[in-house]
Chain A
Amino acid sequence: MHIIVVGLSHKTAPVEVREKLAVPESRLDEALARLRSYAGIKEGFLLSTCNRVEVYAVVEQIEEGHARVHEFFSDTHLALSSEQLTPHLYGYTGDRAIGHLFRVAASLDSMIVGEPQILGQLKDAFEVALNHKASGVVLNKLVRKAISVAKRVRTETKIAETAVSVSYAAVELAKKIFSNLSEKTVLLVGAGEMAKLAAQHLVDQGVRKVSITTRDAASAVDLARRFNATSIPFDHFRHEMAEADIVLCSTGAARYLIGVEDVEQAVRRRMNRPIFLIDISVPRNIDPAVKDIDNAFLFDIDDLETRVEQNLEERRREAVKAEQMVDEEVGQILHWLKSLEVTPTIVALRHRAEAIKQAEIEKALARLQNLSAQERSVVEGLASGIVNKLLHGSLVTLKAESTSGGGAMFIEAARRFFGLDDPTAAGRPGDTSSAAALDEPDSAEPGATRELSEQHPAGKRQT
């Protein structure tokens, strides 16, 4: 059993190739069914976003598995020959494949490191694979782990904390001046794209009152509808400026539209409440001297870009920490995967049964002190007989199923039923061991037990 990934991303393939391979959500079912139909692919999971298309699979043979997924890709789009496609594809196996999945989920492989969308996309894709029963015990565990790694990276590092776009940097600055944006008013001067985007971000962050002014009255009305805003005639927006806490300025004008006096007057009328001015226009529309006015905070496009650059630098620093976390987590999951091999499981199962048997015999013999040697051996024989008969069926099934598609599931089930991964249970055989094993953190996570029941029919079908 091997884990592989084959795919392409923004790092290896131009958009012309990516768009041909991308699988729209509506056709994900069909693609997964096709993927599973290739021989040797035991579990499959397809992640398709605008920046990457990747297939994660559990396969019997490494090389054959890679070849099958390559085949899957070249069959996806008829206009792409495998010669055209191969240079763009990358493939990893085992720990590197798992590491890749974790890095993708944690947004370390994203175009903008730390962007949050990928995690949602991964969850959606996983949901489809689950519903379609394309993924099994191994991939389910891996993807769930990837999601938890991504969350850990986001909470324990500052990778996604700061703004990395100019429009969002404006919001971030606004939050350093105003603690509660929902009470604030935004004045949008002009209809520049970046300013509109920043205004949208501010509205998303809770700003409720937006007013808009543009030289062209018609477009002000249009915009006003979009932001549920009031439009102000361009001639006297300066008088209305005192009402605004945040002024976003982005027009095509070649001169200063807002001068020192305008802002001074606004601050005075605001009784010195701070006013935040963002000038995203080039050439600038707000007199730079405004920055010297008390309680007025002016930022131009260069300031915002500097901020973005600093934040990107910070994200890169945090990404180093995140990579270490990924390495740690890969180590843990490899440990789990190893436990899914059949021989160690059988050995562990025998040890566990033997330990329980011995303990129970000792307990019984301690109470029956007057037994003859023959009677003692009958008691011992009875215990051995029961244990062996009970185990026999399980062991035969385990051995037989270990080579089938659902093998991993059987092994995982056996390990949980008998509490084989709970080291403390070994020393105290008896009724608590399997309950203790169910309390291990991984099993306690929601849905972990579900995966067994969900996958059962699939396992049956294959045997």
Chain B
Amino acid sequence: MTAIFFMATIALYLGGTAFSSAYLSRRDDTLAKIALGVTGVGFLMHTVALLARVVEAGPESLVSFHDALSFFAWALVLVFLWVDVRHHIHVMGSFLLPLALLSLIWAAALPKETSAPMLKTVWVHVTLSMLGTVGFAVAFAAGLMYVIQDGLLKSKQFNVLYSKLPPLDFLDHLNQLAIVTGFPLLTLGIIAGALSAEVARGAYLNWNPEQVWALVTWAFYCVVLLGRITVGWRAKRAAYLTIIGFGGVVLTLIGVVLKGHGAAL
């Protein structure tokens, strides 16, 4: 049953991604509305699938990387729905939905079962880290849109994409908001992970590569955030930095998977 909902969600997100990508080159808003509808239905399916998983195996089930990625996609789509319904910025879907879709496909490719976690509270670490990652994904999308819109304005190409993208300062603000939200969540997630590791293994850190990557990523966003507040790393620079930072996040996640679905923590 869960599997059916899960596959239906992938199909619907695929539809949403296709419609919102096609929307980028069309003048009217119809495609964006279809994308919103299709994704909305997908989101409901997804919610059911996630709840079913939690009921099935308890919140601890979220420890598997499959579920972590699925949760990430769910939260990302939630952000998209909020931005689209609340701010009517349809173009957000063209950037966020592909990310959600990719992570869900990735989740589908991973085994659902993991060895029982060493500690029941590991799911807190996973959930917080994933929510932090959603923040960075949104910052990435906002940064990407910023760089594109900046380029279009500079080269004076007033095309369809130009007309769809929101104002630069909105994107910069969204970028900031996403990091300001995501960073503390990741920080808490890392602390929760370290505590779990300490209880389970007696050491906060064992310096394996994905832990190192995670710390590097954390430090990077810390610097980005401080740079914005102190020396004005905003606008285009912030956009570039958050694009790079998200690359680091993705590498960390890949590292975790290669290491063995996060169970090593």
Contacts and interface: CB of A to CB of B under 8 A. Distances in A.
A176 B153 CA distance: 9
A72 B62 CA distance: 83
A318 to B, nearest CB: 9
A92 interface: no
A66 interface: no
Interface in A389-442: none
> Which range contains the number of B residues in contact with the other chain?
20 to 34
A179 interface: yes
Given A175-B167, A176-B167, A178-B169, A291 B154 contact: yes
B158 A272 contact: no
B231 to A, nearest CB: 7
A307 interface: yes
Contacts of B168: 176-178, 274
B153 A177 contact: yes
Contacts of A180: 169
A178 B154 contact: no
Nearest to A175: B167
A295 B170 CA distance: 14
Interface string B201-230: 000000000000000000000000000000
Contacts of A273: 169, 232, 234-235
B224 to A, nearest CB: 13
A176 B162 contact: yes
A424 B261 CA distance: 65
A117 interface: no
Interface string A276-299: 000000000000000100110101
Nearest to A306: B156
B113 to A, nearest CB: 47
B161 to A, nearest CB: 12
Nearest to A172: B158
Contacts of B149: 176
Nearest to A173: B153
Contacts of A299: 156
Contacts of B27: 158
A204 to B, nearest CB: 18
Contacts, number: 53
Contact of A271 (B162, B165, B173, B234): B234
Contacts of B236: 272, 294-295
Q: SS class of chain B's interface: helix, strand, loop or mixed? A: helix
A127 to B, nearest CB: 34
Interface in A173-191: 173, 175-180
Nearest to B152: A176
A310 interface: yes
Contacts of B233: 272
Nearest to A161: B163
B237 interface: yes
Given A175-B167, A179-B169, A274-B169, A297 B237 contact: no
Interface in B108-140: none
B166 interface: yes
Contacts of A271: 231-232, 234
A-B pairs, top 4 by smallest CB distance, nearest first, are A271-B232, A179-B167, A179-B170, A272-B232
Interface of B: 27, 149, 153-154, 156, 158, 162, 165-170, 173, 231-237
24 contacts: A173-B153, A175-B167, A176-B165, A176-B168, A177-B153, A177-B167, A178-B169, A179-B167, A179-B173, A270-B232, A271-B231, A272-B234, A272-B235, A272-B236, A273-B169, A274-B235, A294-B235, A295-B235, A295-B236, A297-B153, A299-B156, A303-B156, A306-B156, A306-B158
Given A177-B153, A299-B156, 10 more contacts: A158-B27, A175-B167, A176-B167, A176-B168, A178-B168, A270-B232, A272-B235, A274-B169, A297-B154, A310-B158
